[in-house]
Chains A and B, each alone.
Chain A
Amino acid sequence: MLNRREKTCTLVALALVIGLLALANSFLNQYYLRLINVMGINIILVVSLNFTNGLTGVFSLGHPGFMAVGAYTAALLTIPLRQKAFILPDLPAWLAQAHASFPVALLAAGTVAAICAFLIGYPVLRLRGHYLALATLGFLVIVQVVVTNVSQITRGARGINGLPPETNIWWVYGITIALIYLSWRLVHSAYGRGMMAIRGDDLAAEALGVNLVKHRMLAFTLGAFFAGVGGALWGHLITVVSPNAFSFAQAFILVVMSVIGGMGSITGSIIGAVVMTLIPEALRGLEVGTTIAGFHIPPLYGLSQVIYSVALIIVLAVRPQGIVGLREFSMRRWLKN
């Protein structure tokens, strides 16, 4: 529980963040705004991945699968009807007529992803460790194959383009803040403690009356819900959804962000997402070749992938628990005097 002083400080910090976002929104150029949005979406994805991989010890690689489900669901709802009739002439009638505003589409994206998680959860969550990781990877492959082949709904490998650019800083960070609050609330409740107990020792947890199926399922569906929302935000940011955006590489990037920040910690998830969004972006100049102080550096294509891998190796070797480990940011330390 927070005391009154901590509550006040939290509200002040929140107001500060909102103020900064408003400033950014009115003064920064498109490039930086987009970067800030991508960062926010990555925070959403990593914090939601943390429900399973961090808190419950259920190592899932299926997150991009849920992102894809969410992104396509939202895309099919927000594209104007006339445009939809043109690019997707073979849609079933009920889908061809379906249209929704952006918030409703986001909600639908999360809900459909959560339903998928619920359906595959029963068979998949019986597994443990690497078996579970592989099964969720299998789900990811299935989603990609389905999306690529059901071309009357998804346009196959070409993807759907021309999505309305509805994603903005307020949607992204509104959802980010809501998710962080929800995550924090959950961790400090019976539900979060149950999940962490399962991560620690599922046998002991069960012997103390913790419902393994219920807690794993909750973590999995909740994570999938926000993965779906994140996928939809992403799609409406870059205005294109295509199957290869939701690949194993994406799963790898999210896991790296989570591991580098500190698996099991909300603070760690946020830090991991921010750091691993900004560093590869800052070094992007190297990918296309640049000249620094008279030295010409040739283009180094694929450098950001290398950075992810090298960062992962360094963190695993030097600080396997990640930047913050299992700890959480706490104001109590700062407020002592």
Chain B
Amino acid sequence: MPPNPNSILHVEGLTKRFRGLTALENYALDLEPGEILGIIGPNGAGKTTVFNLLTGLIEPSAGTIIWKDQVISYKSPRFIASQGIIRTFQNIRLFNDLTVLDNVMIAAQIHKRYGLVATLLSLPSFVQEERRLESWCMELLDLMGLAQYRSRPAGSLPYGEQRKLEIARALAARPELLLLDEPAAGMNPSESWGLMELIRKIHDTFNLTVLLIEHDMRVVMNLSNRLQVLSYGKIIAEGQPQEIQTHPQVIEAYLGRSAAYV
């Protein structure tokens, strides 16, 4: 497949084997700027493996990942984050001991512009930059409706708010591509509906491109411009949400029950 000239993320032949198990085989993806692409599939289909590979947390067995004309397969997670690809985690991974504000500040400081000497001497460059980072973080917490929790330890937040904080934290790093791994997991229908609106809002506000893994069909069908369906590590279908809902193989592998009430 020739690279799509518009795509900012081009993936081809991506394969990951864990010893004998092939978690992902020959995965391909072309992502256009501003797109929201949903990835669905049964548990163990390889969805999170895609995220782990894209963010460099695990190394691919084969394949290429190109982000804006730059090969990023085999790069470190830190490098990939610095290039504007930021993710959230399926099992929430906040810094529980730290305050809500500090959680967000940690992500924001990826773009800090002061050094160790300026820090230790409290030079104006340090003081001003800390203020700038803090006001940016407070802006985000406001947007996500978390501002009133700013001084509370992240681990003490209610579950739904922790999910939102993960997204706020990811946004603080000013990503261009945001990878959301089951953001609505464990939420009740009204919470997940609110989250959906929120994701749409941040997508529009920050001109984000979004990759979304989600089991809640209502959320994923409403948000995504395009869907990929994974099963046993392979893409079994790709297309518009409407096409996917009527795709016989998908219904068989996964949608079955859910499709009825979308």
A to B contact number (C-beta, < 8 Å) = 84
Assess whether B120 is in contact with A209, with CB atoms less than 8 Å apart. no
Assess whether B93 is in contact with A204, with CB atoms less than 8 Å apart. yes
Query: Which residues of chain A are within 8 angstroms of B77 by Cβ–Cβ distance?
Result: 206-207
Query: Which residues of chain A are within 8 angstroms of B112 by Cβ–Cβ distance?
Result: 190
CA distance A319 to B117 in the complex (A): 37
CA distance A280 to B259 in the complex (A): 71
Nearest CB of B to A220, in Å: 14
Nearest CB of A to B100, in Å: 13
Query: Which residues of chain B are within 8 angstroms of A210 by Cβ–Cβ distance?
Result: 78, 106, 110
Assess whether B102 is in contact with A207, with CB atoms less than 8 Å apart. no
Interface size classification for chain A: 20 to 34
Could you say which of B96, B97, B119 contacts A185, with CB atoms under 8 Å apart? B119
Assess whether B57 is in contact with A207, with CB atoms less than 8 Å apart. yes
Assess whether B78 is in contact with A190, with CB atoms less than 8 Å apart. no
Could you say which of B78, B98, B114 contacts A193, with CB atoms under 8 Å apart? B98
> Is A326 engaged at the interface, CB distance under 8 Å to the other chain?
yes
CA distance A145 to B122 in the complex (A): 42
Nearest CB of B to A42, in Å: 23
Known contacts A1-B130, A186-B119, A207-B77: does B96 contact A200 (CB below 8 Å)? yes
CA distance A204 to B131 in the complex (A): 24
> Is A208 engaged at the interface, CB distance under 8 Å to the other chain?
yes
> Is A197 engaged at the interface, CB distance under 8 Å to the other chain?
yes
Assess whether B97 is in contact with A326, with CB atoms less than 8 Å apart. yes
Could you say which of A186, A191, A200, A206 contacts B78, with CB atoms under 8 Å apart? A206
List the 6 shortest-distance A-B pairs measured between CB atoms, nearest first.
Answer: A200-B95, A209-B110, A209-B81, A204-B93, A190-B109, A189-B119
Q: What are 13 residue pairs bridging A and B, where the CB atoms are less than 8 Å apart in the complex? A: A190-B114, A193-B105, A193-B106, A196-B97, A203-B93, A205-B95, A206-B78, A206-B81, A207-B81, A207-B87, A207-B89, A208-B106, A209-B82
